[in-house]
Amino acid sequence: MTRKRTPDGDAFAALSIAVIRLSAHLQAEGDALAKPAGQTSARWQVLAAADHAPMSVADTARALGLARQGVQRIADLLEGEGLIAYRTNPVHQRAKLMELTEAGRRALADISARQAVWADEHGATYGEERLRQAASLINEMIVDFQRRGDQD
């Protein structure tokens, strides 16, 4: 016998499905924004992380919620293209830090300029207050899932 969900459970399931569907659209939009710079959404995320602060691949993977191996593969490709450079990490001998090169800064600035126009257009459609409320709820859920994952 299948157990029926509560109304709260139904709402949570509906939100989960909507977020998964939205994620696919955001991935495609990100790829389109990054493509003129010769990049993808995944590469863009790693470039942005390296721009935020010198980070190791493992730190970047944790921050982005991605697998370390996937981030390593992307970082190695970006290094091969001269968009990031690996630097010595003063706190961990083997975990090099990623830093943007000048070419990486130019690529990121190119993508960021397109993203600003895109974000402004979509932001005007939904409104700042609604978007901040939605982001707050989603971020609360992320923290809760991370906390539960840390307990396992």
Give the 3-state secondary structure of residue 84. strand
CATH topology of domain 17-151: Arc Repressor Mutant, subunit A (1.10.10)
**What confidence score (pLDDT) does residue 95 get?**
87
Q: Are strands 97-100 and 55-56 parallel, antiparallel or unpaired?
A: antiparallel
Q: What is the pLDDT of residues 123-151, one digit of tens each?
A: 999 999 999 999 999 999 999 998 988 77
**What confidence score (pLDDT) does residue 152 get?**
64
**What confidence score (pLDDT) does residue 94 get?**
83
Q: What is the pLDDT of residues 55-92, one digit of tens each?
A: 999 999 998 889 999 999 999 999 999 999 999 888 88
For all residues of the chain together, what is the average pLDDT?
Answer: 94
Contact 57, 72 (CB under 8 A): yes
Domain extents in the chain: 17-151
**What confidence score (pLDDT) does residue 2 get?**
78
Q: How far apart are CA 50 and CA 57, in angstroms?
A: 9
Amino acid at 90: P
Name 104's Cβ contacts closer than 8 Å, sequence gap at least 6: 47, 50, 51, 78, 82, 83, 84
